[in-house]
A = this chain, B = another copy of it.
Amino acid sequence: MLKAQGSFFVGGEKVEQTYVELGSFGPPGHISVNQMYVRYMVPQGGDSKAAVVMVHGMTLTGKTWETTPDGRMGWDEYFVRKGHPVYVPDQVSRGRSGFNQRVFNNVRAGTTPQSEQPVMRRFSDEVVWPNFRFGPKPGAAYPDEQFPVAAADELSKQSIPDLNSSLPTPNPSFKALSDLATQLKRAVLMGHSQGGSFPLEAALVDSAGIKGMVLVEPGNCPAAYTDQQIAKLATAPILVVFGDHLSDTPTGIAALRSWQGPFDACQAFIARVKAAGGNAQMLYPPDLGIHGNSHMIMQDKNNLQIADLILKWIDRNVK
């Protein structure tokens, strides 16, 4: 039972492009770039709880938070069922947010050197398996693995080209997320992996509407933040969530990174926020006897158990 559902855009600006830049389609003119698509669901009575904004990670889209690869309920619907309005964006340059195709068409026309074309990143399935900690090598799951590995091919379909290298600096998603939170008045920004630090970056733009931040397996908890920035981040409660097997990622051919590094960096970040008077904590399920969670923790078999822990944290910490 929903009070409302729908979609809209945040941000965006007009740029003028040539005939070639538009794909040799129609005369020169203006298009919109850097807008952020957002889909939302508001439950009946949903004005009483904070809105939750769920930002996906690298090569992925808002699909991350929807129906899981093996067909179970995603966090988007579960948080709605628990009374929270839920907003799911596609990062600027991904999915329904689109990207600026100018340079690609100029390269095609030969007026821009090939080497200036932004790279489009993709994870291979062989990289995903060990690095998302489904198991030690593709096809072999950890005994306690929580990711539904039989449906790994469905996760593979969620991956699309990552064009973040084509974006201006700072990434327009930061301001768009901040603006979205301001518009919502009371929002918890949740980010995953590449998007894990986006709530922090959005808060540094303007924290007015940001009443909580949940960093789910962030690729980075930046050590480079200044004390002034840490003080600003300390004005809203912060929860960092990591799964299991953090140091088990095998080194060698299929290993992009160990997740122990980001975990340790986030522990140091939490300590800095607390030292600045803030409310920050780590949710590390193995400490609670919950084992086997993967990098795609929102899609794991126990995803609703993990969601309940986050929901409890929101209830207790988000004003």
Contact = CB atoms under 8 A, between A and B. Distances in A.
Interface string A140-182: 0000000000000110111111100000000000000000000
A191 interface: no
Contacts of A41: 5
Nearest to A72: B6
A126 interface: yes
B99 A110 contact: no
Nearest to A252: B27
Contacts of A31: 122-125, 156, 159
Interface string A5-21: 11111001010010000
B121 A25 contact: yes
Contacts of A104: 104, 117, 120, 161
B96 A160 contact: yes
Interface in A53-71: 61-63, 66-67, 71
A119 interface: yes
Interface residues of A, number: 73
B254 A7 contact: no
A101 B120 contact: yes
A7 B95 CA distance: 14
Interface stretch (A32-40, A226-234, A299-307): A32-40
A139 interface: no
A275 interface: no
**Most B CB atoms within 10 A — which of A62, A131, A156?**
A156
A7 B122 contact: no
B17 A124 contact: yes
A2 interface: yes
B27 A124 contact: yes
A157 B108 contact: no
Nearest to A65: B7
> Which 4 A-B pairs have CB atoms at the shortest separation, nearest pair first?
A29-B124, A98-B160, A6-B67, A23-B121
Interface of A: 1-2, 5-9, 12, 14, 17, 22-32, 35, 37, 39, 41, 61-63, 66-67, 71, 73-74, 77, 90, 95-99, 101, 104-105, 107-110, 114-115, 117-127, 131, 153-154, 156-162, 253-254, 256
